[in-house]
């Protein structure tokens, strides 16, 4: 049952990305182009998403058990460290260069966009590189 609910949530998220235009790299790049022909429509999508998440997140913080019976797992760390800053910079650079971030990349894979395949391959390579560096450091 949990896997089915997870699948439904993922499918709903993917449809939301498509309908909102967040899976369209040209639209994303238009949103990120503050000095040119800025397209504010994705800012409205983001504000709407944050607004819709406020009530459920407030409720979730007060719960010990999730809706499907599992233990509620909320983030416990609130500090800003070099890994968070570095990851944010790499994420932002990739998003700005490609107009794709990980969620929409997976949606675009299903559509057969070769750019999404390249993006996901680079993303996986980066994840493997970070993992290898962390293992070598320890």
In degrees, rounded to 5, the angle at the alpha carbon of residue 123 between the alpha carbons of residues 50 and 36 is 60
- 82-128 per-position pLDDT tens digit: 889 998 998 889 888 888 888 889 888 888 888 889 999 999 998 99
In the chain, how many domains are there? Answer: 1
Q: Which long-range contacts does 61-70 make (Cβ < 8 Å, 24+ apart)? A: 68/1, 68/2, 68/5, 70/2
Residue 113's domain comprises: 2-137
Give the number of residues written for the chain.
Answer: 138
| pLDDT digit string, tens, across residues 56-77 | 999 999 988 988 888 888 888 8
Enter the tokens of residue 89.
């910079």
């Amino acid at each position: 049952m949990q896997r089915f609910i997870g699948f439904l949530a993922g499918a709903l998220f993917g449809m939301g990305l498509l309908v909102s235009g967040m899976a369209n790299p040209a639209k994303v790049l238009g949103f990120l182009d503050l000095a040119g022909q800025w397209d504010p429509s994705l800012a409205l999508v983001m504000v709407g998403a944050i607004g819709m998440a406020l009530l459920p997140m407030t409720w979730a913080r007060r719960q010990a058990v999730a809706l499907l019976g599992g233990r509620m797992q909320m983030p416990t760390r609130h500090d800003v460290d070099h890994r968070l800053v570095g990851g944010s910079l790499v994420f932002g650079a990739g998003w700005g260069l490609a107009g794709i971030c990980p969620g929409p990349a997976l949606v675009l894979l299903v559509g057969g966009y070769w750019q999404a395949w390249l993006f996901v391959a680079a993303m996986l390579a980066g994840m493997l590189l970070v993992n290898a560096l962390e293992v070598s450091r320890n």
